[in-house]
Structure 1
């Protein structure tokens, strides 16, 4: 009888732990897609503002000579890199969005949730331009307007993508996995130690 009660208690504990994980995953997914949606909306609103208010030939100072606003239509990647290969970046943006959605099924870390939300929002924000702006699908030019000291011109989506990339690099450096577990670097003898369990982030 005691053994049966212990087994029932263990099963109940596992079921409760599973329910807690599912609720946490649901909350993290809501944060991820909510953040992505906010990035997309803010990105598109600022791009529309830029189209209506900025010039392609004159920069409007914002923070001295460091940051100014100037409208440009970019056929390349973030910050105007690799122009002339628009369709390639359209495909890349689609792939990034699909990968983020697939990875999100295993989300267990708030830090990863924020990074993936920023990455998804940035990718979709620029993808909308490539799909629906001139000269047309799938080679639409991305609206850029944030001029960084005359070196690069970007937009809100670019900022989200770069921020996500930096965050993901740091998470990988510190050994935090998407599911919230933390692992250590290989030891001196070349053997990688076992995962050390869930991290609080």
Structure 2
């Protein structure tokens, strides 16, 4: 249990720090709302402020999003503590770190800084996102993989 608590603190903290460093760098070095091509039109840095929830969705005031993020993060911490599988535990730690990164933005900035912009052309683009969002997405894939592995092991 001691090791679990250590990793439950360490992994999210590293993610939070890396997430905030990337956001700080983008805020200081890129113009707001002006795409800067990194790999042609496929990968761009487009610095935006996101007052809404995931992937730029916005339904109004910031407080409900902050409260929801806190509640979900607390639930994921609970799941991580109870988890037996190393892969799922690691995934939960990633989710917590990503959630902390975006929660930090909401509390101290009032919005989330997004900047990773991927797509094929102007008409086929994904929503602008950040490192925290990426880590959460990777974690979800890890949870899906672990779910398949558990199911397979059970047969």
Query: What is the TM-score of this pair, normalised by structure 1?
Result: 0.67
Matched, 1:118 2:88: no
| Superposed CA offset, 1:136-184 (max 9, x none) | xxxx1100111112431110000011111121122223337xxxxx873
Larger Rg: 1
1:155 to 120, 130, 144: 130
Within 5 A, what are the aligned runs for 1:2-151?
25-133=1-109, 140-149=110-119, 150-151=125-126
Ranked by relative contact order (alpha carbons within 8 Å, sequence separation 6 or more), the top structure is: 2
Over 3 Å counting, the alpha-carbon distance change for 1:173 and 1:82 in structure 2 is: farther
Which blocks of at least 5 consecutive residues in structure 2 are unaligned? 120-124
Structure 1: gaps (5+ residues): 1-24, 134-139, 177-181, 186-201
Q: Distance in 1 between matches of 2:14 and 2:22?
A: 12
Structure 1 vs Structure 2 CA RMSD? 2.1
Structure showing the higher helix proportion among its residues: 2
Q: Residue 166 of structure 1 is aligned with which of 118, 138, 141?
A: 141
TM-score w.r.t. length of structure 2: 0.85
Total equivalences in the alignment: 150
